[in-house]
Every structure is written in structure tokens, then in C-alpha cells.
Amino acid sequence: MTRGLGGGLFAFSYALLFFLFLFGPLIIMVITAFNSSAFPRVVPWECFTTDWFGVLVRNERLMSGLWTSLAIGVAVVAIAVPFGLAGALALADIGPRLRAGLYAVLITPILIPGVVLGISTIVFWSFVGRGVGASYDTVFYNGFFLTLLGQVAFIASYAMLVLNARLQRFDPTLTEAALDLGATPGQAFRRILLPFMKPALGSAAFITFLASFENYNTTVFTILSGNTFTTALASKVRLGTDPSLSALAVIIIAVTLIGAMVSEAHTRRQELLRSGKAGQSRFYANPLSRLLTHPGAVLVLLLGVTGFIAWSASRVDANVCRAAILQEKQQLQERLMQEQRNRIQQQAPAQPATPSPSNNPSPFGGAFNPNSLAPPVQPAPPAAPPPSNNPSPFGGAFNPNSLAPKQ
Amino acid sequence: MNTRDVVLEHVSIRFGNYRAVENAHLSIRGGEFFSFLGPSGCGKTTLLRCISGFVQPSEGRVLIGGKDMRNVGPNKRPTALIFQNLALFPLLSVAENIAFPLEVRGVGRKERRKRADELLEMIALPGTGDKKVHELSGGQRQRVAIARALAAEPDILLLDEPLSALDLKLRQHMRTELRAIQQRVGLTFIYITHDQGEALTMSDQVAVMNAGVVEQVGDPQTIYNRPKTPFVASFVGETNAIPGAVMNQQGALVTLDTALGPLTGQSAGGRDYQAGERCTLFVRPEQLALADAPPATNAIAARRVNEEFEGSIRTLFLNANGVDLRLYRMNADASGPALAADGTASIWFRPEHATVLPADPSRSG
């Protein structure tokens, strides 16, 4: 196969590039989570620290958004999966001519942009709310319920697709056989159809939960003044990012990896037990390795290892290192300013002395100091606007006077 | 009235404009092994689903044990259906499958297991209760399906071509086994098949169906020897059809003017024919015999076309004046009359072994 791709080297570099593309950003993000630099970056490496996890946990807005997201996710699963199952069952039982039409109806919510769903949800429910004369503290204006409705509207279709795929492999004569043997329709559903659908119900629950948890473009409208995890995250990124987001990524990656490994252990064990080959496997001969391959043991083991790593990493005190870095930076800044001062004096001896160095130890070495970009040989501005007594962070850019036409 | 009796009263079943079953009117006595025999698409499975309650008759009614079954669901009827694909529950163990009818009735776990083990004993599969269905062979699954149906303690067991997926040897074995089970449990068995061998060997009564219509009901010998319609004559067993016109009738014997000369056969059901009526004479290949000397009646001069050796018998393919004939000779009869060296032969049959039926214009081919 590698020969078909033009030799081992090509195939290898292609694979390397492919995996770099996939995992490169993740790896870099993980590294930035442990760099003490206030901006997420790998170089220059400053100090190893786990403080950003603390910053993350202390972020009130993000944490409350997380709980809201989890609650919405669980509620969406509880509603969307039964809805999806009902849709899939209806599709399976309906005549072939109606089936195409019903399928189109059920699939439409996926095709509609999430933004449209979000806006239409709030518009529709506020319309209904006004219609019944509800006040603003009723469900019609409650972000949680509107988000639930908006998300279920299209996530139920995902569940329907997953369940429909499995249902198509169901032999309907099994239900008939159950009825024929005296089961009520309810018994046939619970005892025969539901066990058959169980794996698909699991996947559907998982997919609907993820779809709800990560949804942004519908939720950002329907949550109204509230916050879910994604909307809180998005607003945080908009205001400026720091490595606590990388810390969050590390947590998500760890949870995903542990979940995947436990699930894989579970699948393999089930397969071995089902095929009856458990006796032949060497892992099952030894009671210790037999216990260790149990998904529960795998989970405990992974959690233990992760916990130990987290605990030992948290014992690293970055304060000494950070103080050293700070001092280093201050020295660097001092030196740069000295150089600049020398340069200015050489180029324009008449220029008044630059303002005294800021006491803010900028990590950028004063590169963003507004004065450092000032043209070196420019006479003092003739009519500067009167300095506002408001210490604006925008340098008075929004001072109404600054836009006044000059006479 | 026996609770195991089934009566179909003028049952017709339609799907839209399609007539699946047309005016089926027959009664099945309790404890009988009753077969519906017919080609695929003749409506026999629809009729079975109607008896088990999955399909409602468009007209007429179904009575089980004298009770009208209209608006009685499949789970309320004293019937158990063995599906063509068996429909064993793949996620349940063999014992759970067999005990399913007890489970839905709320029988306790221990009692269920006990009954399942008894039934496994009966179908000669003891100790397989904890296996999964897919671990069993085709014949074993077959028997599990029967045990599961019997666990429901039905009065009537319905079987929808349950043997069609098995290989020949197993099928022959299961025929005897099914018949033995039926005689042991004494239930009414209603059996659907397109295999006339199955129908004839196992059944007390056979109903031959064609295109939704029950053409004849009778015991296997009557069906085979005294077919009432051209379809029954040609569908059940091999037969030679010789078309002709009625010359005269003497009692039950009718003489036809055919391309092979005048031939005499028995009138089906003692029916009276008019001279000149278009008819067909049916005679079984095993009833045709080579003759030493030209016999007095029903002599046919034929020429050999081909010959097939099939083990116990040898089939002679003959042609007589444009009509193809088939003749079975037992291999043990090799010493009897033989073909002439040039391949011509004189053959004949007894008039009481042939059946004369009115020509069916729809199947004159």
C-alpha cells in the first residue's frame, strides 16, 4: 500500500503531516496550559505552573455556565431521545409513500441554520407569551426553557437518524412473534424492541448530549441573558484570552481520553464474553490481569494516575521561578528603556525627556508603550485637547472632545 | 364443539384492489394436521396470518373453538405461529426464548426455567437452555421455535413453511418429527407449504390453493388420485395432460377423442359431460406402463425422446403424435416389457387411473 503512495518516505511524511494537522493544535494548547505566561504561548517558556486551573475554577461565569450546560444537556437527552425513537418508529411503520415525506419533515431541523432556529425560537415563544399575557418571569422568557426547546427542535433529529439506522435492521416479525405468543404490545416493546435498540439508544444519548453541550449558534440567542458554558467561553475569548482556556482544554481532553479507554475496555470485554473466547485469552487465565481488564478497574486506574499527576503537578511552586522571570523582565525593560533614552538623546537633544518608565512590568518589553511609537523628531503638538480627568484605558480615544472639528 | 376446531366462513381478504384470498370456506377439525398447499403468492400465508390475527378478513369470519375471532388480537387468540424465518429472539437465551410466553403471563422465574427445561427435553435438546440462539444449528433452532410455540399452550399451532430453509435430509427428518410431535400433543396443526411432498406425507387433510382460491380440500390420497381441478391435477405430483373432446360417457367413465386416439378416464366427482365438450385427461407417469401386446383400451403408440435415471425410478420422456408424455419405470421392473429397438413403444393405462376434467381455458398451455 505504501508503494502505491509513492514510497515509504512520502507515505510517512503524509501521515506525519496528517497527524500534525489533527493533533498539533491540541498538543500546543496542552503545553500552553502549563506555562505561567499570561498570554497562552509555548515560547518563550517561563515557568511550569498549574495556576491556570485555579484561575479557571475561580471563574464564576464559566463555572455557572458549565452547570447550566450540564443541566440543559441532561434535559435535552431526556427529551430528544424519546422523541427521536418515536420518529424512527413512525418512519418504520408508515407506508412507503408517506415515509419519504415524513422523513423530509423530520430531517428539516438539521438543515435549518442554528441561528435561524435560535432566533425563531425566541420570537415564537415571546409571541406566544405575549398572546397569553405572560410576564417576563414566566417560562416564555426563561433562557433555560427556551434553550431546551430550541436545541431539542433539531437534536431530536440527530437521535432519530441514529435510532432509525438501527431500527432498519430490526426484524418486525420478532414483534409479531412476541404478540402471537401472548405478549401485549407494551411487553413486546419493552422485552424485544428496546433491548435490541439499547446500543443505539446509548449512542443517541451520547450524541445528543454532546450536540447540546457544544451548541453555540442556537443557544447564544435562546439563553437570553443567561450563560451556558459555550456562550460564557465565547464571551471570554472575545474579551481576551488567557491560558485558563488551555487548562479547560486539558481537562476536556483528559475526560475524553479516559472515557474512550474505558469504553474500549468495556467493548472488548463484552466481545470476548459474547464470543465465548474468554477462556482462551491469556488475560482471563490470571485472576489479577482478569480484574485489571475490567472496565471499572481501568477507570479507577486511569483516574488514580491522572489524580496523582495532577496532585504532584500542583505541588510545584511557581512563585520563585515567576519572581525570577519578573525580575529578569524588569531588567530587560530597564535596559531597553535606557537604550531608547540614549537613542533619543543622540537623535534629538532638544527633545524633552521621555516620561518616567511605567511601573507596569509589561511582558512585551514596553513595545506597546504608546510613547515608544511617537515620531522621535516631532515638535510638541500645538493644541493638545485638554486632558480628561478620567483615566481612560483607551487613551481618551472615546473622549467626545477628541472628535470635535478643529477650528 | 371442540376448542381446537377452526372454521373459515366465506373468508375473503383484500389489500386495496388486490384479492389475496377469495371466499375460503372450510372447517378444520380439532387435532388434525391440516395443510394449505399452493405455489408462492397464492394467498396461503395471508390466510394463515388471518387465522393468527395479524390480518382481518375483508369478508366472512374466522371461528376458533366456535368463537368468532373478529376484533380478537393475535395475543388473545389460542394460536401460536411458527414463522418462516422462525423469529427467535436473538438477544434472549434458548431457555428465555422458550419461556417467553410464560414470562409475559407473569409466571415466576423458577417455574419458567422448569417448563423450558421440560420442553427442551421433549425436543431432544437438553442442556442447551443457556446457549444463545445463534449458537444452534438450523434444525435445532427449528425445534426451539416449536418448543416456544408449545410453551404458549395454544390450541392451534400454525406453521408457515418452517422447513423451507433446511437441507433435504434434515427436512425429511423434521417431517417425521413434526408429525410425531403433533400426534403426541394432540393439537391442531395448520401447516403452510409449497412442497407437495411435505403436505402429502404429514397431513390428515390438504387444501390446495391457487390465486387466492381454495381449489380442493381432501385427504392426501384423494387430492393425489382424484384431483377436482386441472390446477390440482398438475400442481400436486407429476402428471401427463392430454387434451381432447368428449365422445361419450358411460357411468363414471368418459371417453375423449384426442390426438392419440380415443382415451378413456374417470370423470372427476362423477360429473356429467356433454358430447363435444373440451376436456383434459390427466394420467400420472407411474400409471403409464409399457405393454407387450397392444392392449384393448387406452393404447398409445409413442416414441422415445429421452431417458433419465433417478435412482429408484427411471423416467422415460416419450412423444406420441405431438403430445409429450412422461413414464416412470421402477428400476426393479427392468425385466418387464421393454422399448423396441427403434425406440417405439406401445403404452397404456387403466381407465380408472386417469381423471377427466373440463379444460381450463386460463391454463390451456
Summarised one tens digit per residue, pLDDT across range A233-292 is 888 888 777 888 888 888 889 998 999 999 888 888 888 777 766 666 666 777 787 788
Is a pLDDT exceeding 70 seen at residue B85?
A: yes
In the block, which residue shows the cell 479507554?
A261
- Contact of B79 with chain A, judged by CB distance below 8 Å, is answered with yes
CATH of domain B238-363: 2.40.50.100
Residue A406 is given by DSSP the state: P
Among residues B235, B244, B268, B265, which one has the least CA distance to residue B320? B244
Q: Mean pLDDT, to the nearest integer, of A205-226?
A: 90
Residue A361, pLDDT score: 56
* Predicted confidence (pLDDT) per residue in B263-310, tens digit: 888 887 777 888 888 888 999 998 888 887 767 788 888 888 888 888
Q: What pLDDT is stored for residue A351 in this prediction?
A: 53
Question: What number is the average pLDDT over the span B326-347?
Answer: 77
| Chain A residues within 8 Å of chain B (Cβ atoms) | 171, 173-174, 176-184, 187, 191-192, 195-196
Asked if B6-229 and B238-363 have one fold, the answer is no
pLDDT (average), residues B68-85: 89
Q: Which residues of A touch B91 (CB under 8 A)?
A: 195-196
Q: Which of A162, A172, A171, A167 has the alpha carbon at shortest distance from A81?
A: A162
Integer Cα distance of B328 and B314 in angstroms: 6
Q: What mean pLDDT do residues B238-244 have?
A: 89
Q: B24 near B11, Cβ under 8 Å?
A: yes
Question: B40-66: per-residue pLDDT in tens?
Answer: 888 888 999 999 999 999 999 999 988
Q: Which of B80, B81, B104 sits opposite A183 (nearest CB)?
A: B104
A179/B73 CB distance under 8 A: yes
Query: What single string gives the DSSP state of each residue in A102-165?
Result: HHHHHHHHHHS-HHHHHHHHHHHHHHHHHHTT--TTSGGG-HHHHHHHHHHHHHHHHHHHHHHH
Residue A398 pLDDT > 80, yes or no?
Answer: no
Reduce the DSSP state of residue A86 to 3 states and report it: helix
Q: What pLDDT shows up at residue A281?
A: 67
Mean pLDDT of chain B: 86
**DSSP character at residue A56:** H
A176/B87 touch (CB, cutoff 8 Å), yes or no: yes
- pLDDT of A22 reads 92
CATH homologous superfamily of B6-229 equals: P-loop containing nucleotide triphosphate hydrolases (3.40.50.300)
A4 pLDDT more than 80? no
| Domain regions of chain B by residue span | 6-229, 238-363
CA distance, residue B114 to nearest chain A CA (Å) = 18
Distance set, CA B115 to CA B11, B92, B223, B338 (Å): 37, 16, 40, 61
How many C-beta atoms surround the C-beta of residue A199 within 10 A?
A: 11
Among B residues 147-176, those touching chain A with beta carbons less than 8 Å apart: 148-149, 151-152
Cell of A317: 511552586
Residue B73 has a pLDDT of 87
Task: Say what the pLDDT of residue B362 is.
Answer: 46
B138 touching chain A per CB within 8 A: no
Single pTM value for the model: 0.72
* Tens digits of residue pLDDT in A69-125: 999 999 999 999 999 999 999 998 888 888 899 999 999 999 999 899 999 998 998
Chain B segment 172-231 residues within 8 A of A by beta carbon are none
H or E element in which residue A83 lies: helix A60-93
Kindly report the length of chain B: 365
How far apart CA B200 and CA B221 sit, in angstroms, is 8
With an 8 Å Cβ cutoff, are B85 and A177 in contact? no
Residue B127 CB neighbours (<10 A): 10
Task: Check B100 against A179: CB less than 8 A apart.
Answer: no
A340-349, B30-39, B163-172: which has the highest mean pLDDT?
B30-39
- Pick from A98-112, B181-195, B233-247, B294-308: least confident: B294-308
Least confident of A71-85, A183-197, A346-360, B179-193: A346-360
B32 to chain A, minimum CA–CA distance in Å? 21
For chain A, give the mean pLDDT.
Answer: 82
A164-181 average pLDDT score? 91
Question: Could you tell me whether strands B205-210 and B33-37 are parallel, antiparallel, or unpaired per DSSP bridges?
Answer: parallel
